[in-house]
Amino acid sequence: MTATPPTIAHQTTPQTTSLLSYTSPATPLQTLEIWLPRPLSASSLETTVWIVYIHGGAWRDPELTSSQLEPTLRRLFPAFPSFEDAGSSRAVKHIAGFASLNYRLSPYKNHPTHPSDDRDESRNVTHPAHVGDIAKALEWLEREYNVTGNSGQTGGARGYEWVGVGHSCGATMLLQLVTSMGQANILSVCRPVALILLAGIYDLPVFLQNHSAPKVSTETQRVYTEIIEGAFGTDKRRWLSASPVAGDYSPETWSKGRMVVLAHSKEDELVEEEQVNRLVEVLERQGWGVGRQLLERELKGGHDFVWEDGEQVAALIEQVTLMLFE
């Protein structure tokens, strides 16, 4: 049983939460965590945003969860989880809260410690169920914490804007959310003002081609094929249609979008730099870089080091937040 969140009116102290369910009835993986650096009532709608984090894990790894954000929070708040030093970063004053989301997973029957079971509905889903869960979580955040609100889009009261941060397939899902890929009900979800995309997968067919023999061993090819087929099925036409490089990021589709940051490490051993290059080409063709900011940032370290260390992610959150307001 997950905890019931306090109403906004009762959020009077800085707080962290246990896992909260964003669906009814509650399910094991449709959950999230909330961190507030100050009472929500003390965060202005005009000068603060929420940070919404989507973890990676190849759409299937049960050991990567919403707790993936905690190393970043420790970098932003030296006394985390107490938030006693919340004023140590200039950017913190512009952050109303953090939400880190879990979502249902694709099968992983040969996981070394937590293999999936065919009877477990929460670990046997395919696209677009993962990104559909992200949309449900955002709808919950709107109801419970006034995140996103309608901001005038449908005549509703204004809410907090949000910045999406995604690692690996989490970055993929944020772009799928922005372009409503394969999920009609995502159209009702308010889009972020900015995205910070860390080591994302943006072209699924190319991703698989680059991890196929003879470029890699047959065992490595098997693993990557299993990942893509487990999350997107065996129809190769679906792989391209679900790829962020096939998306529409025009102002008509994403009117709120002001900034995209694409970050990648040359030391990344799991996702190749070509993924970034292909998305940059798409975004530039659609006018990004002129009026709407398109930034590339080079990271250091391996694929998981980026979130495990947290320092680089914290720095990017600080940079983007300050650029939005100062």
Cα separation, 78 vs 89, in Å, equals 10
Cα separation, 294 vs 287, in Å, equals 10
Among 164, 107, 127, CA closest to 246: 127
Q: Please tell me which residue in 61, 133, 203, 268 is annotated as part of the active site.
A: 268
Q: Please tell me which residue in 66, 168, 243, 265 is annotated as part of the active site.
A: 168
Count of CB atoms situated within 10 Å of the CB of 27: 16
Say whether 168 is catalytic: yes
Q: How far is CA 1 from the centre of its chain?
A: 25
Q: How far is CA 285 from the centre of its chain?
A: 24
Phi, psi (degrees; rounded to nearest 5) at 149: 50, -160
Which residue's structure tokens are 């699924």? Answer: 204
Residue 232 is encoded by which pair of tokens? 């997107």
Instruction: Answer yes or no: are the C-beta atoms of 37 and 86 closer than 8 Å.
Output: yes
Say whether 117 is catalytic: no
Residue 118 is encoded by which pair of tokens? 């065919």
Radius of gyration, alpha carbons of the chain: 19
Among 31, 177, 26, CA closest to 105: 31
Say whether 61 is catalytic: no
Q: Please tell me which residue in 61, 211, 303, 304 is annotated as part of the active site.
A: 303
Known catalytic residues are: 168, 268, 303
